[in-house]
Amino acid sequence: MRIAVARETDANEPRVAATPETVKKFKALGADIVVGRGAGIASGILDADYEAAGATISETPVRDADLVLKVRRPSVSELADYKRGALVVAIMDPYGNDAALKQLADAGVTAVAMELMPRITRAQSMDVLSSQANLAGYRAVIDAAGEYGRALPMMMTAAGTVPAAKVFIMGVGVAGLQAIATARRLGAVVTATDVRPATKEQVESLGAKFLAVEDEEFKNAQTAGGYAKEMSKEYQAKQAALTAEHIKKQDIVITTALIPGRPAPRLITAAMVASMRPGSVIVDLAVERGGNVEGAQPGHVAVVGGVKIVGHLNVPGRLAASASGLYAKNLLTFVETLIDKKEKTLAVNWDDELVKATALTRNGAVVHPNFQPKSAA
C-alpha cells in the first residue's frame, strides 16, 4: 500500500496534507509513504523531518500511489501522473466545478471530497470545514486588529482612556464563534448575529451580545444538519435594517456567512460601508464564494471611503503550520477507516456512510448524487 503526499501546486496554498506525526501513524498501519519534495516547507516542515518519520522524498510522489493525500483538488496536468484507480483525498471544491469533476472521472481516479463529510458524531474528528474554519475565525480578528489603527481593549492611562473597540460578528458558525472568543480575549466589546436561533445561547456564553429579528421565521431557520437556511426576502429586509443601524457604530465587522452549494449571501451593502467611520475595518471571510460584503475584492484589502474591506484568500492558510497539523489529523482519522489493519491494504467499504457522502468519482464516472452531470435529454 503506497500513500503519496503531493506537493500543492497552487501558489496560494501553503498547507500540506501530512505531518511527520501522521506519517508515523500511516507507517504503523503498514503503508509506504512518499512525500513530494518541498511539500511541507511553507508549513515549516522540512523534507528531513518527513524522512526521520519514515517517509521517502520524491519529485514524483504520486506515480504508482494507491492513495494520494492533497489539500486542494488536483489539476489536469497533475492528474496525468496519477494511476487509474488511485484514491485521491482532498478538499475538492465540487460546487459549480462540473468540468473539474469530469476531469477527475476521465482520469479514472476515485476522488473523495473531505468537505462533504457528514455531520455525525463518528465523523467529528474528520471534519475539515470545522478545523479550518476555527483557525479562519481566529485569524480574521488578528488581521482586523492589524488593519485597525487603534487598540482593541480599553486602556486607562495617565494621558487618558482609550475606549474598547466595538466588534460585530455576522454568522456564528465555527469561524464566527472563534472570532467572538478571540475578539473578547483581546478586550473588545463584541456583538454577533446569525439566522439560527440555537446560536443565541452560544454567543451569550462567550460574553457577547446577540442581535437578530427574533420572529417565527427566525425560530425555524436551521436545517437538520445544523446549517443556516436561506431566509425569505421579507426577513432579510428586516434583518438588514436592524444590522444597518448597528453597523454604523461598529469599529470592526467580520462576516462569515456561507450556504453550502450557493453563493455567499450579501450581508453588507455599499450604503452600510459608507455609514461606517473612516478607519473602520471589515473582514469578509466569504470573499472566495462571492463575498458577504459589497466592494470586497478577493485577495486584496480595498479601501472605500476610509473603510478597509479585507478580502484575504485562503485565510486558514495564513496559519499554515497550525492548519496543516489539523488537516493532516482529519485525513488520518478518515483514512484509517479505509485500511484493513490485518492485511495492511486499502479496503474501502463503499457502503460506509462516510464514503457514500464524500465519494465524487469512481470507475470513470461522477457517482455522487448531488453532482450528477446534467443530461442532454
Instruction: Please answer whether residues 58 and 90 qualify as being in contact, where contact means their C-beta atoms are separated by less than 8 angstroms.
Output: no
Instruction: Please answer whether residues 62 and 68 qualify as being in contact, where contact means their C-beta atoms are separated by less than 8 angstroms.
Output: yes
Question: Distances in Å between the alpha carbon of 367 and those of 76, 99, 113, 147?
Answer: 19, 14, 12, 45
The catalytic position among 63, 119, 185, 318 is: 119
Q: Is 227 a catalytic residue?
A: yes
Q: Is 127 a catalytic residue?
A: yes
The catalytic position among 81, 127, 251, 284 is: 127
**Quick count: other Cβ atoms within 10 Å of Cβ 214?**
11
Backbone angles phi, psi at 148, to 5 degrees: -80, 135
Burial 223-244 (b: 16+ CB within 10 A, else e): eeeeebeebeeebbebbbeebe
Burial class, 350, CB count within 10 angstroms (exposed 0-12 / middle 13-18 / buried 19+)? exposed
The catalytic position among 124, 205, 232, 372 is: 124
CA proximity to 176, closest of 184, 164, 166: 184
**Quick count: other Cβ atoms within 10 Å of Cβ 320?**
21
281-284 β-sheet, strand order: 209-210, 189-193, 166-170, 252-255, 281-284, 307-310, 301-304
Q: Is 130 a catalytic residue?
A: yes
Q: Is 185 a catalytic residue?
A: no
The catalytic position among 75, 106, 150, 227 is: 227
Enumerate the H helices of 96-232 as residue ranges.
Answer: 98-106, 128-147, 174-185, 199-205, 216-219
The catalytic position among 7, 50, 73, 130 is: 130
Task: Report how far residue 132's alpha carbon sits from residue 136's, in angstroms, rounded to the nearest whole number.
Answer: 6
Q: Which residues are catalytic?
A: 119, 124, 127, 130, 227
